[in-house]
């Protein structure tokens, strides 16, 4: 590893904190358990904030901790303004925010604006009859004359997107589990209620939101059938995969609601919003949801989250979709998360996994946009194979064995190699510890100067200390075979980043090599060569 690092007077110092930020995602159930019940909690996270701050990240994103029956582990919200007792209390949350801020960490939390739990008080009222005050807060429809659902829409987790409710004599819509009824976000009263939820958390000091599944927030009120999807090469494991999802989501009125959220955010100081936008072709929606200065600050899609391979072409296509142009939003990137399998297991070759991981982490920290690190990526945690009898994920259970379990990426964080359950809990953990995770537990990794953890800290620091990495534009120079080369350029700095994404050594050096100085490298890269899975960054000096 080259130790040379250039710190420059930087225009990046004047940027909003979130532009170029590194964000660390925590899944509360699996991070740290303070009371021995086998489930992580807010006090456990608070106790580990020093570790998170030591990474050099700007912000912590907390996955849902709200009151919930946990049928979808918090994404089925029963009280948007409450903390589920398994995670602690509102006082615990306030203490977490206070300590995070004292350490210089921003706090982002999830907001789920497309659906609630069927145990939410809003839904309990809505389902009573057809004329109550919240009768139109959810998506209800009469059956067809033969009693079947009103259209052919399918849910993500399998089966029709409609469930019969005898109290109203109607079907209610759900894009996910039947216990996650779809809100009617077309309704201005619903929008106002959701804005009230956002205000509640902003007033408690949160610095921003990650907005879940925002493209599911509105549907076609005409309930038009979705057309069939054309044949493709991908495996279809759910009825959902057989349709083009045109009418049950992605309604053109969503950006107007997004603008209302942004207006609220702007009434506070220096707040940030990043939207999750899924689907096979999310680019158009991500642009609409982040357009100009009146919508979300950023969005991330699934470019890398479910990719079977990481290639120069994939990286080029993802980056070129977010040019540095007026009116185009600021991108965020995630390689894995609580829903997507760990990238080191998807992409890393068995015989060179460590070297490959080092190259990918350097690439990740070099991209234009925000980098969202999923807990454990900094350790090099692998995906865990969860046996059927221990599965918790409702999607995996319903579609077993063809749907890859989300549980395999959600396993507990290993803190101490020699402790019970690697120091995650004194009790029985809600998911098993990865069998190879003790070898890279935090205490082991802290003691190893060549660990993935040490490299991640080093690369985050490098990113934070170099203007072009934080706010510079990006221009692809080469993306062919295993070679990826791009420039990062700001007013103060000009860098070129080169990556060998394959096992075969490559010869490469910048044009006019005497005008460049290598300032960072992994896996024995030199100024003129890229061995297997090697990478280097050079700075223009003349």
Active site residues: 212, 276
Residue 200, both tokens:
């509640």
| Cβ contact 511:528 at 8 Å | no
Q: 285: Cβ–Cβ under 8 A, 6 or more apart, which residues?
A: 215, 250, 254, 277, 279
d(CA 526, CA 508): 9
- Side-chain half-sphere exposure of 424, counting CA atoms within 13 A: 28
Identify the bridge partners of residue 476 per DSSP, sorted by sequence position: 486
DSSP string, 234-273: S---SGGGGB--SSSS--TTHHHHHHHHHHHHHTSSS-EE
End-to-end CA distance of the chain: 24
Detail the DSSP E strand segments found in 283-413.
298-300, 330-334, 370-374
Name the residue with tokens 């389902």: 127
Residue 161, both tokens:
């997107």
Residue 25, both tokens:
């995602």
The alpha carbon of residue 437 and the mean position of all alpha carbons in its chain are separated, in whole angstroms, by 22
Q: What b-and-e string marks burial along 529-540, b requiring 16 or more CB atoms within 10 Å of the CB? A: ebebbbbbbbbb
Sign of CA dihedral 465, 447, 60, 97: negative
Q: 354: Cβ–Cβ under 8 A, 6 or more apart, which residues?
A: 380, 452
Coil vs helix vs strand at 141:
strand
Q: Nearest Cα to 147, choosing from 132, 157, 160, 156?
A: 160
d(CA 119, CA 101): 33
| CA dist 499 → 162, 265, 326, 476 (Å) | 48, 39, 29, 12
């Amino acid at each position: 590893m080259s130790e040379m690092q250039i710190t420059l007077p930087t225009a990046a110092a004047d940027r909003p904190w979130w532009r170029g930020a590194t964000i660390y995602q925590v899944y509360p159930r699996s991070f740290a358990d303070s009371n021995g019940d086998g489930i992580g909690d807010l006090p456990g996270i608070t106790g580990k904030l020093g570790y998170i701050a030591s990474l050099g990240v700007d912000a912590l994103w907390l996955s849902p901790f709200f009151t919930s029956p946990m049928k979808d582990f918090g994404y089925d919200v029963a009280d948007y303004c409450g903390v589920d007792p398994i995670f602690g209390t509102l006082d615990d949350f306030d203490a977490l925010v206070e300590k995070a801020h004292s350490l210089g960490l921003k706090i982002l939390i999830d907001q789920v604006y497309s659906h609630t739990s069927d145990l939410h008080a809003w839904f309990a009222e809505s389902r009573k009859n057809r004329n109550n005050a919240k009768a139109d807060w959810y998506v209800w429809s009469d059956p067809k004359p033969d009693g079947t659902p009103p259209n052919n829409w399918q849910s993500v987790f399998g089966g029709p997107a409609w469930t019969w409710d005898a109290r109203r004599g109607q079907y209610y819509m759900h894009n996910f589990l039947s216990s996650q009824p779809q809100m009617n976000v077309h309704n201005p009263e619903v929008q106002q209620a959701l804005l009230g939820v956002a205000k509640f958390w902003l007033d408690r000091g949160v610095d921003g939101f990650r907005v879940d599944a925002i493209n599911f927030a509105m549907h076609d009120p005409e309930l038009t059938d979705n057309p069939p999807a054309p044949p493709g090469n991908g495996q279809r494991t759910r009825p959902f995969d057989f349709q083009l999802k045109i009418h049950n989501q992605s309604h053109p009125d969503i950006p107007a609601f997004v603008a209302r959220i942004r207006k609220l955010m702007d009434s506070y100081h220096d707040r940030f919003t990043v939207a999750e936008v899924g689907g096979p072709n999310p680019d158009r929606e991500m642009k609409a949801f982040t357009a100009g200065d009146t919508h979300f600050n950023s969005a991330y899609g699934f470019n890398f989250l479910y990719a079977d391979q990481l290639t120069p072409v994939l990286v080029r296509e993802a980056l070129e979709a977010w040019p540095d142009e007026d009116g185009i939003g600021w991108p965020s990137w995630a390689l894995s998360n609580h829903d997507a399998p760990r990238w080191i297991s998807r992409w890393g070759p068995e015989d060179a996994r460590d070297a490959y991981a080092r190259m990918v982490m350097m690439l990740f920290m070099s991209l234009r946009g925000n980098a969202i690190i999923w807990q454990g990526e900094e350790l090099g945690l692998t995906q865990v194979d969860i046996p059927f009898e221990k599965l918790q994920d409702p999607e995996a259970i319903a579609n077993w064995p063809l749907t890859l379990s989300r549980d395999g990426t959600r396993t507990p964080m290993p803190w101490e190699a020699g402790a019970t359950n690697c120091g995650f809990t004194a009790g029985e953990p809600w998911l098993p510890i990865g069998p190879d995770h003790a070898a890279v537990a935090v205490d082991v990794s802290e003691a190893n100067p060549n660990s993935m953890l040490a490299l991640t800290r080093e690369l985050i620091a490098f990113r934070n200390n170099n203007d072009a990495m934080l706010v510079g534009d990006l221009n692809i120079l080469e993306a062919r075979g295993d070679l990826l080369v791009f420039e990062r350029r700001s007013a103060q700095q000009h860098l070129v980043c080169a990556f060998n994404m394959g096992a075969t050594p490559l010869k490469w050096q910048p044009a006019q090599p005497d005008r460049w100085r290598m300032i960072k490298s992994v896996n024995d890269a030199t100024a003129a060569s890229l061995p297997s899975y090697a990478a280097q960054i050079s700075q223009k000096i003349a």
